[in-house]
Chains A and B, each alone.
Chain A
């Protein structure tokens, strides 16, 4: 009787996507993150690069891939701003790593778990952003926690809508 080891079980559950999806979806997230605030103004309470990072980290279940995905998305976000490059990079690197690490251990097919994860990781990314800016770099930063809370809720809502759509793009055996 064939018994699946932990590694092979994980391999079976790893989601795979066409190469184009790996390129276009993060790019679309970056472009929309830069463009939508011009349309929505101050109500742009979301972080699409974080949502995409968490989605792929959960689906791929590889902490290394999650780390690199988060780092690259964060660095590109920083590069589009006028702030130091690396603050968002560090925050999203940690978020991507943790999402993938959690994805290995628990069932992330459950939608509630996904939403809860994205909410918590959004808050964590905000905390890391403040920590790095204020304490590591010693820079002044004006901050509003309500905005971050709204952003975390916004990320959860967007995840609720986009995760099922992105699930359709995966390669099924």
Chain B
């Protein structure tokens, strides 16, 4: 027996190591309903310990390298930035002024939106608090699209927190260590996020494909979906707040596994391959945070009157547009109200000061005694009200009738005996 182990020592060691790893895998993976295996989302204590060791071993060196790279890059960037800092400051000040103005004018809409949401019992989650973090490492494997950030449990991070950039969503926190966290990117095949197409309002689930591109799966074929359409978060996954940009529809392909279904390949809004700084959404609330409210109040104080003036002007413009549109519709349906002798902007229809616009009736083809303006026709056209003139011009007016006019005067067509 001893000679057997001595003779096949290498092979025995190999088999022992392989067996130990296979047992370890069996502990981590369990079978699900259809016979497929799945990994437990929460690591067991032993597995977590190994991940912790690996992270503790690799992270410090990785962060140092990343920090050095950033340090050199920043040194150069600072030099470049300083050359244009004054112009940039001026531009940013203008941008801040404009944004404050927009924020102040949007305030009332936002409040109304919140009131309506309260009325219908729907509470949309707003981003309450974010934490900026530096992305510094990855898994190093194509099959595992995760990366690491330099903030962890000590900074208040927790599992399943959304990770975003100003451009769009990036992923979610998968695992948290003391001073670092593992982020599962949206282009990983095991990720999942509820999304909605902006125009067509079609909902689906976003996940990654083998090429590292996010794609929306489980959608019935629909001709309305076109490349270039915006994709937003749907907010139903309890991770990403609703309405955050995800990307644009890149192409639509048939699902090879399911007839009648399509796969929408998405071009992500965030640069997933070159992430440096990300924001972790550490808290979401159904109302604006105190910070946001303070910011809005500042904007309202600084730019409130200006925003109100702009709003009034917009209201006036809208009213004018509506009046113009109504006039056009009226002119289309009642061409007789257009005076061909007047330019378009002086048409009586556009005169809002006169509720009874003066119109000249069209000339009769065969004038008779009832025709206005003839010697025997209606007299006193100068003193007659416009309604009278119109009434006389219309065929109905030719019928002898009498009655009160709109201004209370009784008009009776004159007849020659």
Q: Does B17 sit at the interface, judged by CB under 8 A?
A: yes
B16-56 residues with Cβ-Cβ distance < 8 A to A are 17-18, 21-22, 24-25, 28-29, 31, 35-39, 47, 50-51, 53-55
B239 to chain A, nearest CB (A): 16
- Contact in complex: A97, B10 (CB < 8 Å): yes
Q: Does B240 sit at the interface, judged by CB under 8 A?
A: no
Minimum CB distance partner of B213 in chain A: A42
Partner of A38, one of B36, B54, B147: B147
- Contact in complex: B10, A63 (CB < 8 Å): yes
A68 proximity list for chain B (CB < 8 A): 17
A91 to chain B, nearest CB (A): 10
B148 proximity list for chain A (CB < 8 A): 34
- Contact in complex: A79, B50 (CB < 8 Å): yes
> Beta-carbon contacts of B199-211 to A below 8 Å, as 1s and 0s?
0000000000111
Q: Does A80 sit at the interface, judged by CB under 8 A?
A: yes
Docked Cα-Cα span, A12 to B274, in Å, equals: 48
Partner of A142, one of B39, B175, B189: B189
Q: Does B105 sit at the interface, judged by CB under 8 A?
A: no
Minimum CB distance partner of B65 in chain A: A35
- Contact in complex: A137, B146 (CB < 8 Å): no
Q: Does B315 sit at the interface, judged by CB under 8 A?
A: no
- Contact in complex: A38, B137 (CB < 8 Å): yes
B146 proximity list for chain A (CB < 8 A): 81-82
Q: Does A173 sit at the interface, judged by CB under 8 A?
A: no
Q: Does B138 sit at the interface, judged by CB under 8 A?
A: yes
Docked Cα-Cα span, A139 to B29, in Å, equals: 9
- Contact in complex: B143, A141 (CB < 8 Å): yes
Q: Does A18 sit at the interface, judged by CB under 8 A?
A: no
- Contact in complex: A41, B273 (CB < 8 Å): yes
Partner of B57, one of A27, A36, A88, A140: A27
- Contact in complex: A34, B62 (CB < 8 Å): yes
- Contact in complex: B13, A67 (CB < 8 Å): yes
- Given A42-B212, A85-B24, A101-B10, is A34 in contact with B140 using a C-beta cutoff of 8 Å? yes
A101 proximity list for chain B (CB < 8 A): 10
- Contact in complex: A140, B36 (CB < 8 Å): yes
- Given A97-B14, A144-B210, is A137 in contact with B29 using a C-beta cutoff of 8 Å? yes
> Beta-carbon contacts of A31-57 to B below 8 Å, as 1s and 0s?
101111111011010000000000000
Minimum CB distance partner of A38 in chain B: B138
Minimum CB distance partner of A98 in chain B: B14
A106 proximity list for chain B (CB < 8 A): none
B116 to chain A, nearest CB (A): 41
- Given A138-B31, A141-B143, is A31 in contact with B209 using a C-beta cutoff of 8 Å? no
B175 proximity list for chain A (CB < 8 A): 82
Q: Does A102 sit at the interface, judged by CB under 8 A?
A: no
- Contact in complex: A142, B137 (CB < 8 Å): no
A21 proximity list for chain B (CB < 8 A): none
Partner of B50, one of A31, A36, A85, A132: A85
Among A31, A63, A143, chain B packs the most CB atoms within 10 A around the CB of A31
- Among the stretches A2-10, A69-77, A116-124, the one at the interface with B is A69-77
B405 proximity list for chain A (CB < 8 A): none
- Specify the main secondary structure of chain A where it touches its partner: helix
B271 to chain A, nearest CB (A): 10
- Contact in complex: A34, B212 (CB < 8 Å): no
- Given A79-B50, A147-B142, is A27 in contact with B61 using a C-beta cutoff of 8 Å? yes
A77-116 residues with Cβ-Cβ distance < 8 A to B are 77, 79-90, 93-94, 97, 101
B212 proximity list for chain A (CB < 8 A): 42
- Contact in complex: B137, A64 (CB < 8 Å): no
Among B21, B31, B211, chain A packs the most CB atoms within 10 A around the CB of B21
Minimum CB distance partner of B47 in chain A: A85
Docked Cα-Cα span, A44 to B144, in Å, equals: 13
- Given A64-B10, A76-B54, A136-B25, is A35 in contact with B62 using a C-beta cutoff of 8 Å? yes
Docked Cα-Cα span, A123 to B45, in Å, equals: 33
- Given A75-B50, A76-B57, A80-B139, is A31 in contact with B62 using a C-beta cutoff of 8 Å? yes
B47 proximity list for chain A (CB < 8 A): 85
- Contact in complex: A84, B137 (CB < 8 Å): no
B37 proximity list for chain A (CB < 8 A): 137-139
Q: Does A58 sit at the interface, judged by CB under 8 A?
A: no
Minimum CB distance partner of A97 in chain B: B14
Docked Cα-Cα span, A33 to B138, in Å, equals: 8
Minimum CB distance partner of B36 in chain A: A138
- Contact in complex: B53, A79 (CB < 8 Å): yes
B117 proximity list for chain A (CB < 8 A): none
Q: Does A30 sit at the interface, judged by CB under 8 A?
A: yes
Among B13, B36, B139, B175, chain A packs the most CB atoms within 10 A around the CB of B139
Q: Does B129 sit at the interface, judged by CB under 8 A?
A: no
- Contact in complex: A38, B135 (CB < 8 Å): yes
Minimum CB distance partner of A79 in chain B: B54
Docked Cα-Cα span, A76 to B139, in Å, equals: 10
Identify 14 residue pairs between A and B in the complex whose beta-carbon atoms are under 8 Å apart, listed by A's number.
Answer: A31-B58, A34-B137, A44-B142, A63-B13, A64-B9, A75-B50, A82-B184, A83-B39, A83-B144, A84-B29, A85-B50, A138-B29, A139-B29, A142-B210
Q: Sort A-B residue pairs by CB-CB distance and give the 3 closest, nearest first.
A: A81-B144, A79-B54, A142-B210
